[in-house]
Amino acid sequence: RFTGQQQEIKNLIQSKIAVDEENAHLKNEFSNLNQKFKDKSQELKDTEECAQKKEEQNRLVIKNLEEENKGLNTRCADLLNDLEKLRKQEAQWKTEKSGNDAQIKNLETDLAEAREQLKELRSICSNLSSQVAVKQEELSQKDCDVIRAKKELQELQNLYRQNVKHTAQQDELIKKLQALNTD
């Protein structure tokens, strides 16, 4: 019986040793797990802080982007207004250009007509110049004829004067002869 109890005690001691070893092993594992938990907790804390910082940065970035977007939207609206103004201006210029083109076309037509008229007037001028040249030639001829006629008239006047003088002398002679004859 004693041997049985001894055996039982021995078994219990071995069992306790085994439990103690298991316990020491579990304590060690628990300690390791606890350290890992602490490490992970710290890591989580760090990660959360980092995430918070990131979130804050992101909020700032988003805020900046929203402000930038607002500015860009305003700029875009301004540019669209400018574009609309430019389109209206372009339409106005096109209308003006169309009017100017029509005016240019009319002026070109007028110029062509004026050139044609100038051509005709030059032709008329040329004909008139020819006629004037002919008339000048005729006038020159007439001048010569007048000079000749004046000379002839002068000669005739001289002859007439001589003739009158001669006649007067003859009359005087006749009178003298008659007087002599009477005597």
For residue 1, what pLDDT is reported? 61
Please tell me the distance from the alpha carbon of residue 54 to that of residue 63, in angstroms, as a whole number. 14
**pLDDT averaged over the chain?**
94
Q: State mean pLDDT over 60-88.
A: 96
Please tell me the distance from the alpha carbon of residue 148 to that of residue 87, in angstroms, as a whole number. 87
State the pTM of this model: 0.39
Checking if the pLDDT of 2 tops 80, the result is: no
Q: What share of the chain has pLDDT > 90, as a percent?
A: 89
Please tell me the distance from the alpha carbon of residue 137 to that of residue 119, in angstroms, as a whole number. 27
